[in-house]
Structure formats: structure tokens, C-alpha cells
Structure 1
């Protein structure tokens, strides 16, 4: 646990996947859309599993009568829609409610499709939640509504007890406050089929040169050396950014929204990606998150770059033993740096009601207890990673999940990779206009200049620089 000062006034290090962050991230839109979005109609009524509902917030009353006295009502919106995640989150919340009869947390499942359209209108009309799941980009958007409450004291208290990873907290530290409580992390690594690499006499690549050589050698017959996304999508943005990080070019926009995309190292990263695409399936220009994983599990691709969701389905879909699922950190360019893209998912507090804030602090205390926290994370084993030191410690509930226990070595690589995680827009101050870059997928669009329009990497990166500069004006 460090002696970090709260709040941190100077953001100095960066810290999301489908979820997984996948599904979250590709929907990110620029904050400039807010004015139009705010004019959209409110949301439909529904039950606890409905989309945005005017009855979702109990802010008007704050408490409800019960036989044992007043009960503080807390409404939480999350956008983790897969049934296994919904079920696990509900289990944790039900356990908290049972242990705290004076508090009732109600989870409502929303969609990232509505996050930039319906949520702002619902929030400003008083029908928003008390707690809202978020990612760094989205927090900069909702913060403009003036409803996000600083969580300095909550984060400080949790940090003292459990030790937050700096990369998880930093994207939410700016304007002299902390604006969300980190919940779980997601990080990219290089996955490889150990059986296929062993058969070819190839050791796991640690450098770009080794990666390119391995991909070329492993491309034979109906087998491809690697499967990479190359569509206009956040999936492509994410993998490309991991190459930018390892090229030594993680800073593409700073806290003053100054674009520094047109650099020699970024050109090299795009050259490398284009080279690897020659050893990726021909329809890679349609790939997002699922297709590389499917090719990898089928054995038609020997390598892929993605987050931890590869753990839970590998044996069933590949028909191979768990020992054939290889993992290593992202290969590094000559003169580059270790790292990859890392998303810190978090929870914003939108209520200024003191009773609710006290109840929320109690809920977070329960959630981050190591005996509970791992059960929450393992709603999606391997994808949702601990953001606290004791959450990842031996003996915590995180390691008790059968998938995590089976792939303990692979999970440790993911945890180690998280320590070098980066996120564009949050590496050199907080870029308030990062949504204008991530929303249109300008990283992926820059690649399309090469793959679809025949531009050189230098020409494509110059195009990307111009597009990004215009987007943040």
C-alpha cells in the first residue's frame, strides 16, 4: 500500500475490454454529442432488469418505511448484460442487503447502447441512479452534467485497507478529486497455442521481430500465424494501442487535448500491424473481439492479442487441454516499452444525499472485503481483474474460482501485465475530448487508410493526425 495523497492534483500515469470491455468500449462517443443527446426523450418504465427506468432512482424519497425502521434505498445501474454476470452481481448485492437490513441496494441492468443517448436525459431529469458503472472516457462525459460526486474519502479509506493499483485509480483523478471508485481491470496480452508453437519449434515471442518471424512461420496451409481485428471498431483500436504502447508511443493526446499522433514510433507501429495482417485471415477487416478468439480456439490461428476472456472457453471450444493455452506479455519493439492497453472499470456516485452516501460507503466496504471481492470479479473469470493488492493476494476469494485455479499461471501474467497498463487519453493528463477520438475509432480508421486505400503507414498516420486535430477543435 502506498502513501498516495488524496486527491491527487496532478495526473501522472495512465491506467478497459469486451468485457467485455469490448462491448463497452466500441460504443464510446464524443462528449460533443451531449447537447444533442440531452434533448432526447427520457426512458421507459421497467422492472429491476429493465433498461433505464424513471422509477430507478429513489432520490426523491431517499428512504422507505419497513417494520424495523427506515431503509436507505440505493439504485445501481450496470451495463454487464450477460446472464452470468447479472446473476453473480445480484448474488453479491443480495448478500449485502441481507447483512445490512437498513440498506437496500437494487441493481438494474442497462445497456451501453443507451449510455450516451438515454442516460444523460434520465440523470438530469432526476431519474438517474445513485451508482453508475463507468469507464474513464465515459466519466469525462457524465461529469459535464454536474452530478458526479467526488469519492476522495471512499477511495482513500479503501486504499488504506486494501491498496489500490495506481493504474486503476489514475484515470479517475483530475480536477483535484477522484471521480469514481475502481471496480475491476482488464488488460491485453499475447495468447498463443502452445501445441502449435511447440510443433513448429517456436518459443513465445518477446520482441516485435520475434512476433513477426513467428507469425510468418506459423502461417502454413489452412493455419494462420495470428488473428487480428482490422475493422472500424474499438476492438481494433484496443489492439492497435497495445502496439503503440510497446512502440514507446503511448502519448497521443494530452491533458490540453493536444494531438501528438504523427510520430516516427507510431508510424512503425502501423507498419508492424500491417505486416502482421498478412499472416492473419483474409477477412480480418471484419473482425472485432469474437472472431480472433474463435479462430484461435479452432486452431486456425496460432496467436491472438486480447484480454482474459480466453480462459473460460478455451478447453470447451478448442478440445485441447488447459496446458495448451499459452500466454505472455505484449512483445516489445526495439527501443519501446513494456505494457499494453488497460481499462479500469469503475463506479460513479451520483447522489449528494448524505444518508445515501454513508450507505454507499458501507456497500463499498463490503464489496472490497477480500472474502467477497473475488466472488464479484469472477462473474467473468480472468476478464475482470482485481484492482486492489489484497484482492489478488493468496487466500482471497478471487483464487477460489475453478477457472482461476486451473489457469493460475496465466492469471498471474494478466495481473503482472496490469501493472504496466496504459490507456490513450489518460497517459499525460486527462484529455477531456478523448471521446472525440475514441468514438469515431480514429485509430482503426487510420489503419483502414493502409488496408483499404493503399496509403503508406506514414501517409495514414499523417491523415490520422489531421482527423484528430479537427475532432478536438
Structure 2
């Protein structure tokens, strides 16, 4: 099987999702500061699902078996709590040695004062494994790299081919009009046409932003760095999201990542917009064959463009002690070697996309049953990534204030104001403009 990663990436930054998907709290206290455990490096990550934790542990165990000077210990954190938790940890000098990150989160953590440059690691990885340029871009500032890129995430439109066939729909929607019409047609007999997150969380931020990108509304800041969210195309996108919510489950205002996927797999919803974690559990959770899982580019409005949020997930080194920082860098260098990297990506095959040329050929990843079974969707995700972007890093920008904005889930609040409170989308977007301006001034 051949997997394609398009050459000539021109996007300024790649974004998951996760992301990034949400983690759940579980870690206690970091060890990167004065409270460091002797002989142990602590790694914080927000990839909470048990299969990912188990796979990470297998890779970590293999590294620890090489008898490094400092062994690695993982601790699971929660995306909804990590902003306040890492701030407190740095203040008390108990931050982890390694912290997984995404570009906007990095801009929040760096000013706290503990993030160490990793330029040497990134340059070595680039020379040996050929990192995709766009994966590095959001972590380069003032001549230094501040995180080591590890894996990518991109969103797609997922649809149930079996439910489409029952409704007499023979192809995936390509435009907003088609998406809305299909969602309406599929909403019947207790089933929702689409499952959308609308809670105050990063999941809602991500889906709205993907739709904003397709409408040419992905740039939050003007050239001078001032907030420029309040524009007609942003309000148009929010209005579209509001219309789609008519065909989403009634409790969508509480949805984050897991609920839309559960509704999709159970057949309670026929479509969803999300990252590649939909691949691995589909057959077991839906009871349907793999052939019933459809994927397509995110639909765009008339005159719109291809687009999706895309995260270049990475790892920051936060050890102030030079010996511990060197040990952390050694682990990340080891992790990117193809013989280890493929197994790391297999923690969530399809969600974690490779960011190195040799990683795309890593035997353990290419031969993974999920990757082989859904090769068409994997290739589609790699192709969708060409149009990927992330708020705060579009068109070559590196905006240091974006972490203050994303930490407040301003986009998700816009969705809630427009859909739950019934506010006019233009009013909601104007409110968000003010919120963002206040955030960057703090």
C-alpha cells in the first residue's frame, strides 16, 4: 500500500486533534523543577483514551529498557485543566520535564518561563528524518525552536454510507448547501443528520474553525497584529453552524469530542466533523463493516476553499536543570527514529499522522491493520492537510497572544451564544472580537 503526503506544502502551519482530542485529568505534580524525582523524567500529555496511554507506555517501556540515565514516566492530563495546572506547576517549580503541546498552547506556556529551546533536536531530526516544513513553522520564533514536532492531526467530514443509502443519498456533500440539505434529509425516525459539539470546549472551537477556513475567515489577526475576527464571513460561518445545529442531537450543547463519535457509531447521527480517531473503533462500536465508513473533505460554501484545522502536535522540554533537559532531548530524539516512531503513531492510527518522510514509510505504521484497512481515508486526510491551518499562525504569522484567546474557548462561546442563547450571529461575533481584544491586552 502506498500512502501519499503531498509535496510542496505551502500552508503556514498544520493543526487535531487533536489535537487534539481532550485528555482527562490523572497526573499529579510535575517533576521538572525542585521536586524532581531522582532517576525519572516526567512526561505530561493530554491523550487520555486508554488505548493511547497503553501504547505510549509500551513505547516508553522499550525506551526505559535501553537503560537511559533517566527513565521516562507518563502522567495523563486534561486539556480542559492544563492551562491552569501548568501555570501553577511552573510557579511552584514542579513542572514536568516534557510537556506535549500544540502551537497556540505553546505561546501560552512559554511566557511562564520554563520552556527550553530545542533547536538542536529539531535540526538533527530534520537532517536525519526530514520533517515537513509546515510542521516546524509554528514552533520557530526568534531563531529558536521551542518544541519538537511529533505528529499531525486534521479534520474530515465522516459519514455513514449505509445511512446515506437508506436516505437515497449517493455521495458525500461537497458544499455547505449540500451538507445542510443532507443533514435535513437524514434527520428522521429519531436519528440526527449530523452530530456537532457545542459545549464550551476545544472540540467546538475546532469544528467551527474548520468551517471558518472553508469560508476564508481563518485569520484572526491583521498584519499589525490587531484582532480582526469581526467580519461578515465569520458571522456567515456562525450562522451556518447555527442552522446545522437544528439537525444535531438535542443535547449537543454539552458535546465535546466523545459524544459526536458515540452518536455516529451507534447510528444516532449520520455525519460528523472530526479528526482521524473515527477509524480504529468504527467496526467494533458500530457493528458495521469498514466499507460503511465514508470520509470526505469538509464541505465549503459557494466561492469557498478547501480547509481544515490542522495541528502539528509537539513536545516542549521544561527541565531547567541541564542534565535533565539533555535527557529529555535524548528521549525525543529516540522517539523520532522510524523503528520507534511507527509504534508511537500506532497509539491512535489515523489520528496521529506522521510528520517525517521516513516516518511515513515506517513499517509498523504502514502495516498497521487500521492504516491498511482505511488507506483511502488516510490518504484523504494527508491530502486535506494541504489546506490545513491554525488560528494565530495563518499566512506566516506567529502571534504570541493566541494562547490567551484559545485558552478561553472564545469560538465555542460564540457557538453557545448563537445556538443555545439564540443570539444573532453578528452580535455573537462582535462580542468575541471584544473578548479577544481584552485577552491580548492582559
Q: Which of 99, 104, 113 is 2:70 aligned to?
A: 104
The answer to whether 1:279 aligns with 2:278 is no
Aligned equivalent of 2:229: 261
The answer to whether 1:195 aligns with 2:194 is no
CA contact (8 A) 1:12 1:170 kept: no
Q: Please identify, of 105-114 and 372-381, the stretch whose mean Cα deviation from structure 2 is larger.
A: 105-114
Aligned equivalent of 2:28: 51
String of CA shifts for 1:387-427, please: whole Å, max 9, x gaps: 2222123x532122222222222222222222322111221
String of CA shifts for 1:154-203, please: whole Å, max 9, x gaps: 11121122222233222211232110001112211100001122331331
Structure 1 459/377 Cα, relative in aligned 2: closer, same or farther at 3 Å? same
Aligned equivalent of 1:218: 186
CA contact (8 A) 1:218 1:225 kept: yes
CA contact (8 A) 1:247 1:333 kept: yes
Q: Runs of 5+ in structure 1 lacking a partner? A: 5-10, 28-48, 65-72
CA contact (8 A) 2:18 2:311 kept: no
Distance 2:90 2:428 in 1: 40
1:289-328 aligned at under 5 Å gives the runs 289-328=257-296
The answer to whether 1:449 aligns with 2:426 is no
Aligned equivalent of 2:99: 132
Aligned equivalent of 1:46: none
Distance 1:14 1:254 in 2: 17
Q: Please identify, of 300-309 and 15-24, the stretch whose mean Cα deviation from structure 2 is larger.
A: 15-24
Deviation of 1:12 after TM superposition, in Å, equals 7.9
Distance 2:50 2:122 in 1: 29
Q: In structure 2, the residue corresponding to 1:191 is in which secondary structure?
A: strand
Q: Which of 83, 95, 100 is 2:62 aligned to?
A: 95
1:361-440 aligned at under 5 Å gives the runs 361-393=329-361, 395-428=362-395, 429-440=397-408
Structure with larger Rg: 1
Q: Please identify, of 243-252 and 269-278, the stretch whose mean Cα deviation from structure 2 is larger.
A: 269-278
String of CA shifts for 1:232-279, please: whole Å, max 9, x gaps: 222211110001000011101358541111112112212221222222
CA contact (8 A) 1:242 1:339 kept: yes
CA contact (8 A) 2:33 2:320 kept: no
| Count of aligned pairs between the two proteins | 433
Structure 1 454/173 Cα, relative in aligned 2: closer, same or farther at 3 Å? same
Structure 1 449/145 Cα, relative in aligned 2: closer, same or farther at 3 Å? closer
CA contact (8 A) 1:257 1:433 kept: no
